[in-house]
Each structure stands twice: as structure tokens, then as C-alpha cells.
Amino acid sequence: MGYDYLKQVEYLNSLGLVDKNGQKIQYYDAFYGMKIEFLFEEPFQSYQEYINRAEKKYGFTPTLLAFIHNGNINAFAWKSNSLIGINAGTIIQMSELFSGVDYKTLMKGELESFHILDKVGQEGFLEKMYKYCQMFTFFHELGHIIQDDLRGISHFSEMVNCGSYSQEVHLMEYDADQYAAIQIANHINQWMESLEGKLKQAYYKKEVAEMLLSTGVGAIFINYLIFQGRHDAFYTNSCSHPHPSIRATYIMNTIVDAFKSGNKGGFDIDANSVFRNGFILTERVINDAHPRGVVFKNGDEFSRFFEIWEANQKEILEYVNVLKAMALETDGLAVEKYNGRIK
């Protein structure tokens, strides 16, 4: 049974919810009958179903998904009002980014073998990458809904600006990132396991899994660098989210480990190959493959990120270990619930 988006928006409008600045939340529903309808209706149906399944599993209050108008926020999770919002403009920009990629430029050299991902399934390679990028946004917000309130924090925003820092918020953002990466790894595993007959003989192999994982890693990096605001200077104790270089470091390991733990084929995944090709995909999509160059930001965004990542390895790893230790000592996080480790 499908979900009725217009009825959900009508109900949400009747609540008169306002954001942190006292502005009424603007919901987007103008896509019906337009060429972009598929960009919204398909993920709405899929994501609302994910929410309802998670509600039954984790016992949170019934929660609705809506697309919003807000130039300062890419997405938010508002647990106290049982609402996940994703910026309609972000969905459109993601689609424009990946649909505008020059495929031949993207697939040259080291990535030539990735052509194989276009030969099986209904989705082409770039469609898969776009889907993973969008899925990461949704599952990150769903992770916040699954989390227990920590010191009364129940409203999380993926803002274009830096936001306000607290160690507890960094921990919960870390946990939501981990949860989202696990779900993408699960999606890749499910895709692999859905192969049958000759397709399974041809594509159920370690090399294909590594390509899909690199695609997922690249999609998440692009999400951080294009859709999460600018972070030119490295930091640990600042902003509402950990620095993208920190987030990238823990995400790489999480997505590979989650895939390996759920993979029935026992593939010996080469994590270094996954990470290297994920970086190459990110760089080419952002700087090389799109005919308009860097689409949404000025300058070489990837080079800045990579310089920061290389120059601050010691501090990055130390802070990742701090977040890991905090997560192990904190009850009610999304990954803890997902793994069934409720104390």
C-alpha cells in the first residue's frame, strides 16, 4: 500500500511547526505532474516504508517524512515532533550533479573496470552513486530518530553553516553517520545476494563488491563535500558536526566492516583498494567529470579536503578514537540498538 504524500503535508501544515528561528516550516509538494516527480515520489515511498519498519523494530513514535524549503538546512531530524525533513533543493542538486557527469571522463584509467556496474540490474553506475548519496542523507536522519534523547537533544540539522559545538552532539552525529553507512553496506549486500543464475556466476565476486563499496564511499564523500557546507580549516572542538576529514575516516572503515560482517560469500575485501577508488571517484565527480567543473562551490574542494586529511592524520585518528570510546560508554545510540546491544 502506497503512502499519500499530499495528505502528510496537509497534516503537517495543520500542526504549524516552526523552526529554531521561529519561522514556519515550508513543505514542498509542487513536484506532482512535473518532470521531476520521480525524484521525490519514489524515495518518499521507499523512505517512509523504512521509517515505519524501524518504528516497529525500535519503538519510537510514528514519524513522517517531508521535503522542505530551507536554504540553510539540507536535512533535519526532529524527534520530539516525529518528523524527518529533507531539503527539496538538495534532492534536485544531487540529481543535477550526477546526471551532468561526463561518463567517459569519470571511467578512464583506474576506474575503467567500473563499466561492469552498468551491465547488471536496472540502475546504471551513476544512478547507483546518486542513490547512495541520497540514501546517506535519509539514513543519517533516521539514525537520529532511533537514538534516545541525550541530555534533551532531540532536534538535529544538517546545516550549511558551522552550527554550535558540543561533545554530545558530535557523538550523536558520529552515531548517525555509522548507522547510515551500515545501511548502505546492507543495501550493497542485498544487491549482491539478489543476483541469480548467470548473473550471479558473472557478478557475485569480490571485485564487484569492492567497486560497489568504492561507489558508496565516493557518494558519501561527495555528500560531505558538496552538500554539508564549507570547512576549510581543520577542527575537533567546533561546529555541530565533526570535520569532514574525521567523518570520512571513520565512514571508510565502517562501510567495509559492515559489508564483510553481512556478506555470505566471505569476500576478502581489499579495504585500501575500496578507499583509493572512492577518493578517485570523489575527485573526478567534483572537479573533473562534470562539464561545468565544481558545480556548487568555488575552488578545488577536493584538494582542500585531501590536504587537510593528510596534514592532520594524527589528530583525526585520536578524535575518531575519542568518539569510538564515547559510543561504547553511551546507552541508547542507533548503532547499539541496531546491533541489539541494549544494556
> Residues 211-215: what's their mean pLDDT?
96
pLDDT of residue 301: 74
Is 252 within a domain? yes
**Number of neighbours of residue 204 by Cβ within 10 angstroms:** 17
Say if residue 117's pLDDT is above 50.
yes
Q: What is the pLDDT of residue 123?
A: 82
pLDDT for residue 34 is more than 50: yes
CA 167 to chain CA centroid, nearest Å: 21
Average pLDDT, the chain: 89
Q: What is the pLDDT of residue 163?
A: 75
Express each pLDDT in 231-285 by its tens digit. 678 999 988 899 999 999 999 999 999 999 999 999 999 999 999 999 999 988 8
The C-alpha cell of 6 is what?
499530499
Cross-strand partners of 78: 83, 155
Is 303 part of any domain? yes
| Rounded Cα gap, residues 73 and 159, in angstroms | 4
Per-residue pLDDT of 135-144, as tens digits, reads: 999 999 999 9
Q: Which of 164, 298, 157 is nearest to 232 (CA)?
A: 298
More confident residue, 65 or 70: 65
Please tell me the predicted confidence (pLDDT) of residue 85. Answer: 95
Residue 342: is its pLDDT beyond 50? no
Distance CA 197, CA 18 (A): 53
Confidence (pLDDT) at 343: 40
Query: Given this model, what pLDDT does residue 151 score?
Result: 63
Count of domains for the chain: 1
pLDDT at 104 over 80: yes
Name the percent of the chain lying above pLDDT 90: 67
Residue 343: inside a domain: no
Identify the pLDDT of residue 161.
63
- % of the chain surpassing 70 pLDDT: 92
> Can you say whether the dihedral through the CA atoms of 178, 182, 187, 192 is positive or negative?
positive
Alpha helices in the chain (DSSP H): 5-15, 37-58, 88-99, 103-106, 125-146, 167-193, 197-203, 206-227, 244-262, 271-283, 301-311, 313-328, 334-338
Domain that holds residue 75: 5-338
pLDDT at residue 299, as a whole number: 53
More confident: 177 or 294? 177
pLDDT in tens, 307-339: 999 999 999 999 999 999 999 999 999 999 999
Reported confidence tier of residue 26, pLDDT bands at 50, 70, 90: very high
Mean predicted confidence (pLDDT) in 31-48: 94
Q: Sign of torsion, CA 119 268 143 167?
A: negative
Q: Is residue 94 part of a domain?
A: yes
